[in-house]
Structure 1
Amino acid sequence: METIGWGILATGKIAHAFARDLALVPGARLAAVGSRRAESATAFAEEYAAPAAHGSYEELVSDPAVDVVYIATPHALHLDNARLAFEAGKHVLCEKPLTLDVADAEEMVRLAGAHDRFLMEAMWTACHPVVRELGERLRSGEFGMPRHLHAELGFRVDAPPEDRMLNPALGASALLDMGIYPLTIAHLLLGPAERLTATGDLSDRGIDLDVAVAGRYAGGALATMTASMTSYSSRRCEIATDRGRITMDDFHHPTSAVFTPYAPGPGSWVVEPGAPVEVTGTEPVLGQGYGNEIAEVGRCLREGLRESPLVPHQQTLTLLRQMDELRAQLGVAFPG
């Protein structure tokens, strides 16, 4: 597969960001786009020079020029969209979270296996060069033993009630849209959580608008994580170790991470910072980072893999189980 043909299923905001990064990835090309509205597909195809625009998802997955389908619809539609792609013989990269709950995610994984197709959740954070190098160096002990991680992601959502960000029927949830990122960075840097506890504020329609999560991880490491649809967070991730402190000013789209070592100073309560160590990744960041997940899918397909070692199915299912548990604690349930 010298050049892999991509089909983009849906034409919302995330699909536009994906298409921009796709153009930066060697060996990848935009083969087609599909939408439920022909005019939307045509406009998208013209903007990103896609050879084909389809007025239905069925037409998109039937396009012989498409090797892998990127699913960019709301969470509640992912399983049906993936089933459609698998039945047409296409591989799938599906936006995060993979589905609304772990039961549906397990079904999607089963379908991928039954059709012998590749499946990966579009968790670009796990493919990001900075995050990958930081995880490797942290696990090596170079920066000391991690004891506490804090990560936050939030922005104000001003949208009509029927918008996917606020509509329960489409899987609206601060936890699923924003909280998955702090939970993922904690999982990648600390390992699987041993215990998670959530508190939050719900809308009058029963969706979580603001969530705070406290977690305990292997070796007694702790994490505090927040997600919000009502306020603007710093988007920072900070990790305190027994040797110093690691900071990512924007862990959602990091350009680097910085470790600042600390050592005892002249007084009993004084510590002094040493020379900072910058972590930038051993590979280039492709665009906003979506390009790196696209490149990982291409690598896996060329090697004949059916899941990515960077975003394995088990990791995706583990994080969805965490979110199922946290939603239960918050009292959030989706229709049906």
Structure 2
Amino acid sequence: MTQSIGWGILATGRIAHTFARDLALVADADLVAVGSRDLDRASAFADEHGARSAHGSYDDLVADPAVDVIYVASPHALHLEHARLALESGKHVLCEKPLTLDVDEAEEMVRLARRHDRFLMEAMWTACHPVVRALRQRLAAGEFGTPRHLHAELGFRVDAPPEDRMLNPALGASALLDMGVYPLTFAHLMLGEAESLSATALLSEDGIDLDVAGTARHPGALATFTASMTSWSARRASIATDLGRIELTDFHHPPYATFTPYGEGGSNDAEDLGRPVRIEGLEPVVGRGYGNEIAEVGRCLRAGLKESPWVPLEQTLTLMRQMDTLRAEIGVHHPGSPGRGSAGFDPTA
């Protein structure tokens, strides 16, 4: 591995543009190539973001010798296909979340990475975010008391044609997969692995979940979450402990978190409050936060790691099992492989 890591971006949708802008802010990370099924789109993307090469096919992208790691930015339903292409070509992979549509496919991707001795990480940048990492570390150390309840919500109104990947069942459209994965991950990071989950949802005429509300029992704590493609969420998260309350005004892009202690024998009516404690990140946030996950990939590759300790593959598989279970409960079944969604959630797996 050279000192500077050569990145290739597979697919040129909106998230790929955000990723490329943050990539430009990371030291020793170079955007060397971009691939699209349309050479004109690839060339336009390369011109905008300064990539050295533009490829009109994904096969050409993964064959580019200057590329060390591929960022897979295609729709969920195509992640396994495109990660396979990269891994079998000897490239490391950062794959956009969710890793795949179900745990069967996710386990197959992990097997491929291990078979080809390549690095693989889900692009769950929340787990790499400096503020989230600092909060997780200090909460686990008992600094803010024992957590008893967590709530997180994420949603925005999707105004798009039916064929758009956000609304097309064949491409993995799902409020749970697109938005719900973030509060589920946040709860996992803060409270540990869920012991049981349940959800309810409002579905579209095409059978995709547009709005989801869920509950989970974690060791010694409860979590609730909402995800929406029809309304504007506050994007807030809070953690109630036996000593006070932690709040993130925007847990999706948190500038900081705040812990407010409550006095002994007080009440929850804004009396007997202690001085708020501001929880800063362990290091600066790079760009929108994607820069921190890009830096983590670089750190792992230089250290010879095949997975990140911040986003371990078993954590990704656990969350995929949870989403499989929740989708089965709310009656959402994406077209594709016969086994899709059949694995279920087993907290011991």
TM-score (normalizing by structure 1): 0.98
Which position in structure 2 is the counterpart of 1:191?
A: 192
**1:185-224 alignment, distance < 5 Å:** 185-219=186-220, 221-224=221-224
149 and 83 in structure 1: CA distance in 2 versus 1, 3 angstrom threshold: same
Paired residues of 1:152 and 1:227 also in contact (CA < 8 A): yes
Partner of 1:136, secondary structure, is helix
Whole-angstrom CA distance in 1 between matches of 2:267 and 2:95:
54
Whole-angstrom CA distance in 2 between matches of 1:101 and 1:254:
28
Which position in structure 2 is the counterpart of 1:94?
A: 95
| CA deviation profile, 1:89-132 (whole Å, cap 9, x unmatched) | 10000000000000000000000000000000000000000000
Deviation at 1:289, TM superposition (A): 0.3
Deviation at 1:272, TM superposition (A): 1.3
The one-letter code matched in structure 2 to 1:251 is: F
For structure 2, list consecutive stretches of 5 or more residues without a partner in the other structure.
Answer: 337-349
Matched, 1:170 2:171: yes
Paired residues of 2:148 and 2:241 also in contact (CA < 8 A): yes
Whole-angstrom CA distance in 2 between matches of 1:250 and 1:257:
9
| CA deviation profile, 1:132-152 (whole Å, cap 9, x unmatched) | 010000000000000110100
What percent of counterpart residues are identical? 72
TM-score (normalizing by structure 2): 0.94
Deviation at 1:282, TM superposition (A): 1.8
Which position in structure 1 is the counterpart of 2:19?
A: 18
| CA deviation profile, 1:141-197 (whole Å, cap 9, x unmatched) | 000000110100000001000000000000000000000000000000000001111
Whole-angstrom CA distance in 2 between matches of 1:169 and 1:193:
29
Whole-angstrom CA distance in 2 between matches of 1:192 and 1:133:
19
The one-letter code matched in structure 2 to 1:250 is: D
Whole-angstrom CA distance in 2 between matches of 1:192 and 1:47:
41
Whole-angstrom CA distance in 1 between matches of 2:301 and 2:267:
58
266 and 240 in structure 1: CA distance in 2 versus 1, 3 angstrom threshold: closer
Whole-angstrom CA distance in 1 between matches of 2:266 and 2:241:
21
Paired residues of 2:133 and 2:282 also in contact (CA < 8 A): no
Which position in structure 2 is the counterpart of 1:272?
A: 272
Which position in structure 2 is the counterpart of 1:329?
A: 329
Paired residues of 1:264 and 1:271 also in contact (CA < 8 A): no
Paired residues of 1:265 and 1:271 also in contact (CA < 8 A): no
The one-letter code matched in structure 1 to 2:321 is: R
Which position in structure 2 is the counterpart of 1:254?
A: 254
Whole-angstrom CA distance in 2 between matches of 1:267 and 1:143:
18
Deviation at 1:281, TM superposition (A): 1.2
Whole-angstrom CA distance in 1 between matches of 2:5 and 2:214:
40
Matched, 1:61 2:82: no
The one-letter code matched in structure 2 to 1:64 is: P
Question: Number of matched residues?
Answer: 335
Which position in structure 2 is the counterpart of 1:282?
A: 282
Whole-angstrom CA distance in 2 between matches of 1:10 and 1:279:
36
Whole-angstrom CA distance in 2 between matches of 1:77 and 1:127:
24
Which position in structure 2 is the counterpart of 1:291?
A: 291
Deviation at 1:264, TM superposition (A): 3.6
Whole-angstrom CA distance in 2 between matches of 1:135 and 1:190:
9
Which position in structure 2 is the counterpart of 1:9?
A: 10
Whole-angstrom CA distance in 2 between matches of 1:64 and 1:268:
61
161 and 309 in structure 1: CA distance in 2 versus 1, 3 angstrom threshold: same
The one-letter code matched in structure 2 to 1:316 is: T
The one-letter code matched in structure 1 to 2:115 is: A
Matched, 1:74 2:71: no
Whole-angstrom CA distance in 2 between matches of 1:272 and 1:150:
23
Paired residues of 1:264 and 1:270 also in contact (CA < 8 A): no
The one-letter code matched in structure 2 to 1:2 is: Q
Paired residues of 1:197 and 1:326 also in contact (CA < 8 A): yes
Paired residues of 1:22 and 1:294 also in contact (CA < 8 A): yes
Matched, 1:304 2:304: yes
What RMSD over aligned residues (CA atoms) do the two structures have, in Å?
A: 1.2
